[in-house]
Amino acid sequence: MSNRYKPGRVIKAPENFIDSSLSQAITKDGLNEERRDFIRKSFVAASAAIASTAAVAKAAAFEGDPLILNHTDYDQTLGLPVASNPYGVPSKYETNLIRRESPGLTQVGGASVAFAPLQGLFGIITPSGLHFERHHQGWQDMDPAKHRFMVMGMVKNPKVYTMDDIMRLPSVSRIHFLECGANTATEWGNVAVPTVQYTHGMVSCSEFTGVPLSVFLDDVGYDKKNAKFILAEGADGSGMTRTINIENALDDVIVAYGQNGEMLRPENGYPLRLVVPGVQGVSSVKWLRRIEVGDMPYGAKDEVSHYVDLMPNGMTRQYTSIQEAKSVITSPSGGQVLVGKGFYNITGLAWSGRGKIKAVDVSTDGGRTWRRARLETPVLSKAFTRFNIDWVWDGSPALLQSRAVDDTGYVQPTINQLREVRGTKSIYHNNAIQTWRVADFGEVTNVQVK
Ligand SMILES: Nc1nc2c(c(=O)[nH]1)N[C@H]1C(S)=C(S)[C@@H](COP(=O)(O)O)O[C@H]1N2
Ligand SMILES: [Mo]
């Protein structure tokens, strides 16, 4: 098996790639008396980057753990007063789990990406403070009292709404993923980055609250006969404009102000953004200030020079907006270290821009054999679906993969299948099966199976 994978070009991980809070530390029997010690040892092991797992396992023998036998500072002192954190923040022991900028990407005029730490997240909701960020010209914290939203073009009564006007309209709350079309861009040519945060961290999933766009279109009396497209425009300096076809616009597009139970975060478009479910992130225009109704695609700059796919024959695919079914194992994943043989929970995320996830299969031998994973509920349309599957690692090298199938029957392709059709020059829309290699000493790395 060792010659079936191709390590490729791996950028050396800076120290902070090894996230000590994420190391795998579950013993064969699950939660036994050794576990606490294992966890402590594995923290040490993981921070030392690649530790000798044999030594860690030996040192973990239980000899009466003082941390369970004795009193601690916590039960001998007064706790902190209620509301001393008026807006709750994560524990000081969780400071490693943050959005990160890739050291390999340059910042131009505030245009950059902060990747979500998928390796450390549970369930299907991305905490708002960890939702990935993609700005074409930085972010602004806009005054909601001064924010205006205009709907115009091929309509009977063009209107300008204040935030107060918008909050009075009928609202919906829906859970949807948002994925940048450039997510996993680094892996088109070869293996490029070491962790799932950088390979897949330009996707997140939130419960968005807002007003269906169709409510606004009806309110202004859009031209039902001739309207074919809308243009959405943001209020930031990037001049972000996107064409959306009218069927989508009338279907499930939301003019959102809420995210995970509170107002949007400034980085995600406060006080108002578009959410175009299933479509590449760029169409979900943030700081939304204008919708124009028209009868032709607008061919805006971000639709002509960006978010098009360069094909092997030199032509480009344009307006390829739907994010096809995709999945990735988030743990164990690149940069983590397994601390000894035995039981592990393999967990990951699957999503499809076309609907619901029907199944996720997991392989531990690079795609030769597959087992069906458990899908955790809820399984929602155009949202993250969490999958889990048991795995007993025998200590030999393994190649972990997940493969999603959506309810249209579409099966997530291998990287080679994708390259056969699309070549290697694309930046966008890479939904290939991801492979993580587990070495016999437990280190997990990003590889591509030949
Ligand atoms: N006004 C505006 N809207 C925008 C952008 C932007 O730079 N300006 N970036 C787009 C891109 S490319 C993506 S992938 C998503 C990212 O949304 P997020 O930052 O909330 O994750 O917002 C889109 N909407
Ligand atoms: Mo994007």
Q: Can you list the positions of beta strands (E) in 124-261?
A: 133-135, 148-153, 159-162, 172-179, 203-212, 229-234, 241-245, 254-259
| Residue 55 contacts residue 41 (beta carbons within 8 Å) | no
- Could you tell me the distance, in angstroms and rounded to a whole number, from the CA of residue 182 to the centre of ligand 2? 6
Indicate if ligand 1 lies below 6 Å from the C-beta of 429: no
Q: Are residues 292 and 342 in the same domain?
A: no
Confidence tier at 100 by pLDDT (50, 70, 90): very high
pLDDT of residue 64: 86
CA of 346 to the centre of ligand 2 (A): 29
Residue 197, classified by CB atoms within 10 Å of its CB into exposed (0-12), middle (13-18) or buried (19+), is buried
Phi, psi of 207 (to 5 degrees): -90, 115
Ligand 1 atom 2 nearest Cα: 286
Q: Return the DSSP state at 430.
A: -
Q: Is 212 a domain residue? A: yes
**Which tokens belong to 169?**
């309209």
Same domain assignment for residues 135 and 265: yes
pLDDT, tens only, 110-155: 779 999 999 999 999 999 999 999 999 999 999 999 999 999 999 9
- Which atom of ligand 1 is nearest the CA belonging to 286? 3
Q: Which ligand is nearest to the CA of 139?
A: 1
DSSP string, 112-159: EEEB--GGG--SSPPPGGGS-EEESS------GGG-EEEEEESBSS-E
Q: Last residue of a domain, which of 288, 317, 346?
A: 317
Residue 215 lies in a domain: yes
* pLDDT greater than 60 at residue 29: no
For 331-346, write each residue's pLDDT tens digit. 999 999 999 999 999 9
31 has a pLDDT exceeding 50: no
The reported pLDDT for the residue numbered 63 is: 73
Do 50 and 132 fall within a single domain?
no
Query: Quick one: pLDDT at residue 42?
Result: 42
The Å distance, Cα 45 to ligand 1 centre, comes to: 38
- Six-digit token string for 35: 């576990």
> How far apart are alpha carbons 245 and 336 in whole angstroms?
42
302, 330: one domain: no
Rounded Cα–Cα distance for residues 113 and 273 (Å): 18
Q: Smallest Cα–Cα separation from 443: which of 123, 23, 62, 67?
A: 23
Task: Tell me: cis bond preceding 378? Omega within 30 of 0 counts.
Answer: yes
Contact, 367 vs 407, CB < 8 A? no
159-176: string of b/e by CB count within 10 Å (b at 16+)? eebebeebeeeebeebbb
Of 45, 165, 201, nearest to 37 by C-alpha is 45
**Cβ of 178 less than 6 Å from ligand 1:** yes
Environment class of 403 (CB within 10 Å of its CB; exposed 0-12, middle 13-18, buried 19+): buried
Are 264 and 405 contained in the same domain?
A: no
pLDDT band at 208 (very low <50, low <70, confident <90, very high): very high
pLDDT number for residue 424:
86
Task: Give residue 278's domain range.
Answer: 108-317
Clarify whether residues 282 and 414 are in a common domain. no
Residue 237 lies in a domain: yes
Mean pLDDT value of segment 83-89: 96
Residue 62: pLDDT band by 50, 70, 90 thresholds? low
- Adjacent-strand bridge partners of 11: none
Q: How far apart, in whole angstroms, are the C-alpha atoms of residue 285 and residue 239?
A: 10
The ligand 1 atom nearest the CA atom of 136: 7
295 Cα–ligand 1 center, Å: 25
pLDDT of residue 312: 79
Residue 423 vs residue 8, higher pLDDT: 423
Of 283, 317, 351, the residue at which a domain comes to its end is 317
Look at 72-76, 218-222, 354-358, 406-410 and tell me which has the smallest mean pLDDT.
72-76
pLDDT per residue over 165-179, tens digit each? 999 999 999 999 999
The number of folded domains in the chain is 3
> Which of 69, 100, 129 finishes a domain?
69
Q: Which of 118, 128, 130, 134 to mutate for ligand 1's pocket (most ligand atoms within 8 Å of CB)?
A: 134
Same domain, 313 and 426: no
Which DSSP state fits 80? P
Atom of ligand 1 nearest to the CA of 233: 1
Please name which ligand lies nearest the alpha carbon of 109.
1
Exposure string over 6-27, b if 16+ CB within 10 A, otherwise e? eeeeebebeeebbbebbbbbbb
Is 129 in the same domain as 272? yes
Distance CA 296, CA 386 (A): 39
Q: Can you give the C-alpha Rg of the chain in angstroms?
A: 24
The pLDDT value recorded for residue 439 is: 98
Interval 371-376 mean pLDDT: 98
Which atom of ligand 1 is closest in space to residue 288's alpha carbon?
1
Distance 78 CA to ligand 1 centre (A): 45
Is 370 in the same domain as 401?
yes
Buried b (16+ CB within 10 A) or exposed e, 67-102: eeeeeeeeeeeeeeeeeeeeeeeeeeeeeebbbbeb
Helix (H, G, I), strand (E, B) or coil at 57: helix
Position 216 confidence tier, pLDDT thresholds 50, 70, 90: very high
C-beta 182 within 6 A of ligand 1: no
The mean pLDDT of the chain is 86
Pocket mutation for ligand 1, best pick of 137, 147, 240 (most atoms within 8 Å of C-beta): 240
Ligand nearest to the CA of 238: 1
Q: From ligand 1's centre to the CA of 274, what distance in Å?
A: 10
Cβ count within 10 A of residue 5 = 18
Which of 17-21, 93-97, 295-299, 337-341 is least confident?
A: 17-21
Q: Is 356 in the pocket of ligand 1 (CB under 6 A)?
A: no
